Structure 1
């Protein structure tokens, strides 16, 4: 009668084992879904990191340029100060 109704009689232990197999399969599907979400998030993070790296390189160039301009300006200021000192001391020497 059971087989005619497509029902297979099993013991409680066998039913439990079967249900645990189903549960493990569902957990596996859930883990796959979460892994896909993690991969998507990692792709976004990678893109954000690349954008940050680009900004960081630009900032580095600007800082190097600012440092170079500072050094160049400092050298010109020093020369200018020396020229002023030289010009101020020349009239004193002539008197």
Structure 2
């Protein structure tokens, strides 16, 4: 599994200096080709559940977007992009 965080932008959200930060968590889930797409989909579904349970007052995860499958000689994978909004005081 590979995880990256991409930030799209930041802006002041209130007059007290609070900041709204927009971005995406990008996860790539890989498995051996012979394990099949079902295994990768199970892992992606588990990640979606984790992000839904991770919503809090400081960060909100939005609807995840699964990516297209990627295939190499040995590995099979899918990407998952989860947009988020984070607030900092």
Looking at secondary structure, tell me which structure has more helix per residue: 1
Higher RCO (Cα < 8 Å, 6 or more apart): 2
Smaller-chain TM-score range?
under 0.3
TM-score, normalising length from structure 1? 0.24
Looking at secondary structure, tell me which structure has more strand per residue: 2
